[in-house]
A and B are shown apart, each in its own frame.
Chain A
Amino acid sequence: MVQEISDDLIEIHDPEINAAEIMAHIREQIAQRRKEQGRDQRVFPSFGGTAYPGEPTDIPYDPNLYHHLRLANETFANVETAAQLPATRATQLPIFGALWVRVRAYLHRIILFYVNRALTHQVNVNRHLISVSNQLTAANQNQHRQIRALESELASLRAQKER
């Protein structure tokens, strides 16, 4: 992908260093290397999951699809795994109550250890599934735009032919 380099891309707060001169030199160097080595057309892989593509503003869309997709993106990692240990009649009993509090907390910790392991796996699977949904939705948007462009091209060709 070719990126344009704007003038104010770097900041050097030093009156003795001329940032504009450095940028000009860099542009020359890049142009020279492109001449000698050709353009590097490499497209880097994007890291991690594909983000929520957002509702399109230029094409019609199904609000339900975007509503559910947005909520899925926002909530897939919000899994409550903390222990809930409210006081009960048993925990307020003298001597036995304190012992029961400790035993109960210990049992909860053991259970949560395994629950959290399973949840971590599930959150990872969810992330991949949501990433795929995001990517398909984005692809669908692009295809919709392409179809619209082709339709308008077809319409203008038909109009030309009829004339």
Chain B
Amino acid sequence: MNWRAIHQLLPFFSRGDAIGNLALATREVLRAWGFQSEIFAELWEPVLAKECRPLEVYRSRPDNLLILHYSVGGQSNRFVLNVPDRVVVWYHNITPPRFFYAVNGDLARRLQDARRDLALLANKATAMADSAFNQDELTQIGFRVLGVVPPILSFDHLRASDTMREARAASNWLCVGRIAPNKCIHDIIKAFYFYHARIQPDSRLWLVGSDEGMAEYARALTRLVARLSLDDAVVFAGRVDRVGDYFRNADIYISMSEHEGFCIPLVEAMHCDIPILAYASTGVPDTLGGVGVLIREKNYSMIAELAHQIISDTSLRARLIARQRERLAAFAPEIVRAHLRACLERAYQKDTVNRFGIRSNGEINGSRNF
């Protein structure tokens, strides 16, 4: 592997965002391996201004490898079509736009654009996926997939203090992630309603995550909470600096999400020894890899009873946590780094596509589309 530099490109570089964190962690790894490595972005949060460079100043070179983080539409997705660099798409999945028509039309449009541009990239770039679910999608589109590389995770930010002890209820549900319709926070609230009203009144649901760009959805959730008289029991914590405190405080981690490419909070819950109850959709079963409890239907009273069982049955809880600890080993930094290295080495092997769409290995590019 003899790249001059391995750079990363993303449309929006944000603090606390899974892809932003991944870009930073990947840059550290690449630099440790001796490569020149920078992060280029179209837009960035001011606090990250020193960590990235504008897309406009990127200098293309055929001996550069450019990793494009792919999850949403943007200028960068089309920019890479016209550069001489070898391009690898790191696919984090694209949330279906239908989730956002009602709350953020602009985002819905950008997701539609992302889906359209991804098909164009299949002829230009190879790809890595962060889960088997994402890999299947790439294969169907016609990408040559280099392999599955889960996010490089650091758990340093999960160190907890004791500051939340007083806010603790007897039972605490936790969900971490953006307040967005695909995460189906409304379903968590409905299941929690049954738990709080019929099983354990001394309980609290902690919802940790930003609602930026999702004001309409956040308002609908607040109305739902008020209508169910859960104002004192449901906490919208927003984006927090010390998420470890919330994990430490939790008795169960719950996900009702209907679209996830990977879902990092599930791994964080494994790290913090919080048993997981999740709706089996999209990338969630791959990330859990057979641990935790998956549900196939959203029956709220059943979910409440199941959560109660997981919280109160100590032997069940201990067994679930033990299995989660085993699963956590698959996401150890040294293992993920090895996957990343293997994929980048595969990308280095000559793979060209001629103007007839035929790869150097004789395979017809994108043939799985037909």
Query: Which residues of A sit under 8 angstroms from B320, Cβ to Cβ?
Result: 14, 17
Contacting chain A: which of B82-90, B201-209, B296-304?
B296-304
Contact of A26 with B105 at beta-carbon distance under 8 Å, contacts A9-B302, A33-B198, A47-B186 already known: no
Query: Which residues of B sit under 8 angstroms from A47, Cβ to Cβ?
Result: 181, 186, 217, 220, 224
Q: What is the interface of chain B mostly: helix, strand, loop, or mixed?
A: helix
> Do B102 and A48 touch across chains, with their CB atoms under 8 A apart?
yes
Size of B's binding interface in residues, CB under 8 A: 43
> Do A127 and B293 touch across chains, with their CB atoms under 8 A apart?
no
Query: Which residues of B sit under 8 angstroms from A156, Cβ to Cβ?
Result: none
Contact of A79 with B105 at beta-carbon distance under 8 Å, contacts A13-B291, A40-B198, A47-B224 already known: yes
A19-46 residues at the B interface, CB under 8 angstroms: 22, 25-26, 29-30, 33, 37, 40, 42, 44-45
B182-225 residues at the A interface, CB under 8 angstroms: 186, 190, 193-194, 197-199, 216-217, 220, 223-224
> Do A10 and B296 touch across chains, with their CB atoms under 8 A apart?
yes
Complex Cα distance, B186 from A42, in Å, reads 15
Query: Which residues of A sit under 8 angstroms from B106, Cβ to Cβ?
Result: 116, 120
A93 within 8 A of B: no
> Do A22 and B302 touch across chains, with their CB atoms under 8 A apart?
no
B268-326 residues at the A interface, CB under 8 angstroms: 280, 285, 290-291, 293-297, 299-302, 305-306, 308-309, 316, 319-320, 323
A16 within 8 A of B: yes
Contact of A30 with B103 at beta-carbon distance under 8 Å, contacts A14-B323, A47-B220 already known: no
B20 CB to nearest chain A CB (Å): 25
Query: Which residues of A sit under 8 angstroms from B299, Cβ to Cβ?
Result: 3, 5, 9
Complex Cα distance, B198 from A107, in Å, reads 60
B314 CB to nearest chain A CB (Å): 13
A131 CB to nearest chain B CB (Å): 8
Size of A's binding interface in residues, CB under 8 A: 35
A31-87 residues at the B interface, CB under 8 angstroms: 33, 37, 40, 42, 44-45, 47-49, 76-79
B3 within 8 A of A: no
Contact of A26 with B306 at beta-carbon distance under 8 Å, contacts A5-B299, A47-B181, A48-B102 already known: yes
B241 CB to nearest chain A CB (Å): 29
Looking across the interface, which residue of chain A has its beta carbon closest to that of B278?
A11
> Do A26 and B309 touch across chains, with their CB atoms under 8 A apart?
yes
B108 within 8 A of A: yes
Q: What is the interface of chain A mostly: helix, strand, loop, or mixed?
A: loop
> Do A48 and B301 touch across chains, with their CB atoms under 8 A apart?
no
Query: Which residues of A sit under 8 angstroms from B197, Cβ to Cβ?
Result: 40
Query: Which residues of A sit under 8 angstroms from B301, Cβ to Cβ?
Result: 3, 30, 40
A-B contact count (CB 8 A): 93
Complex Cα distance, B107 from A123, in Å, reads 13
B227 within 8 A of A: yes
A160 within 8 A of B: no
A162 within 8 A of B: no
> Do A10 and B295 touch across chains, with their CB atoms under 8 A apart?
yes
A118 within 8 A of B: no
Query: Which residues of B sit under 8 angstroms from A3, Cβ to Cβ?
Result: 297, 299-302
A110 within 8 A of B: no
B101 within 8 A of A: yes
> Do A11 and B302 touch across chains, with their CB atoms under 8 A apart?
no
B360 CB to nearest chain A CB (Å): 36
Binding site for B on A (CB under 8 A): 3, 5-6, 8-14, 16-17, 22, 25-26, 29-30, 33, 37, 40, 42, 44-45, 47-49, 76-79, 116, 120, 123-124, 127
Complex Cα distance, B198 from A100, in Å, reads 68
A158 CB to nearest chain B CB (Å): 44
Contact of A17 with B198 at beta-carbon distance under 8 Å, contacts A5-B302, A77-B101, A77-B108 already known: no
B178 within 8 A of A: no
Partner of B103 from the list A5, A9, A29, A48 (CB cut-off 8 Å) is: A48
> Do B309 and A17 touch across chains, with their CB atoms under 8 A apart?
no
Contact of A127 with B319 at beta-carbon distance under 8 Å, contacts A30-B302, A77-B109 already known: no
Query: Which residues of A sit under 8 angstroms from B181, Cβ to Cβ?
Result: 47-48
Complex Cα distance, B313 from A25, in Å, reads 12
Which one of B105, B293, B306, B323 has the highest number of Cβ atoms from chain A below 10 Å of its Cβ?
B105
Query: Which residues of B sit under 8 angstroms from A17, Cβ to Cβ?
Result: 316, 319-320
Partner of B293 from the list A6, A12, A42, A44 (CB cut-off 8 Å) is: A12
Between-chain CB contacts (< 8 Å), 10 pairs: A11-B293, A22-B309, A25-B309, A26-B306, A33-B199, A47-B186, A48-B217, A49-B102, A77-B108, A124-B216
Query: Which residues of B sit under 8 angstroms from A37, Cβ to Cβ?
Result: 198
Complex Cα distance, B312 from A25, in Å, reads 13
**Chain B 37-74, CB within 8 Å of chain A: the 1/0 string?**
00000000000000000000000000000000000000
Query: Which residues of A sit under 8 angstroms from B190, Cβ to Cβ?
Result: 44
Looking across the interface, which residue of chain A has its beta carbon closest to that of B285?
A11
A9-B299, A22-B309 given. 14 additional CB < 8 A pairs? A3-B299, A3-B300, A3-B301, A3-B302, A9-B295, A10-B296, A22-B316, A25-B309, A26-B305, A29-B305, A44-B224, A48-B102, A78-B112, A79-B105
